[in-house]
Amino acid sequence: MPGPVMCPCGTGEPVAACCGRLHSGRQPAATAEQLMRSRYSAFALGEEAYLLSSWHPSTRPGKLRVDPAQEWTRLEIVGHTGGGPFHADGTVEFRAHYRLGGRDSVLHENSRFVREDGAWLYVAPT
């Protein structure tokens, strides 16, 4: 019998105990980094509705299609500024490794996040 599906964000926890709680709306992200990890997992798992709902309205696209051929393979958190429980904004620098068309690539970004009404939202790359 197979074990639980592990969360793509790299914490070593099962999806249900990790980013799945955020994807389902059972729990909000406590920090900008936790939101960033949950968004990475959402890309890996095809959770388009979550990606849109966690995107700030000022920069949110009208629609989003996650490419099922793109395989997200690993997330590295490089660093962050702010983004904690007592902050209103923050950044998270990361490297998201993926495979597409048989080729390995990396998306390196420093993302900006804001907290509004207690919820962290992705704004845009800095």
Task: Walk me through the domains of the chain, giving residue ranges and CATH numbers.
Answer: 15-58+68-125 (3.10.450.50)
The residue-averaged pLDDT of 38-62 equals 97
For the chain, percent of residues with pLDDT exceeding 70: 99
The residue-averaged pLDDT of 76-104 equals 97
3-state secondary structure of 20: helix
Asked whether the beta carbons of 113 and 123 are under 8 A apart, the reply is: yes
Mean pLDDT for all residues in the chain: 96
Q: How far apart are CA 107 and CA 16, in angstroms?
A: 26
Buried/exposed code over 115-126 (b: 16+ C-beta within 10 A; e: otherwise): beeeebbbbeee
Question: What pLDDT, on the 0 to 100 scale, is given for residue 63?
Answer: 94
Question: What pLDDT, on the 0 to 100 scale, is given for residue 1?
Answer: 67
Q: How far apart are CA 95 and CA 110, in angstroms?
A: 9
Reply yes or no on whether the pLDDT at 17 is more than 70.
yes
Q: Is the pTM of this model over 0.85?
A: yes
The residue-averaged pLDDT of 91-104 equals 98
Q: How far apart are CA 35 and CA 113, in angstroms?
A: 9
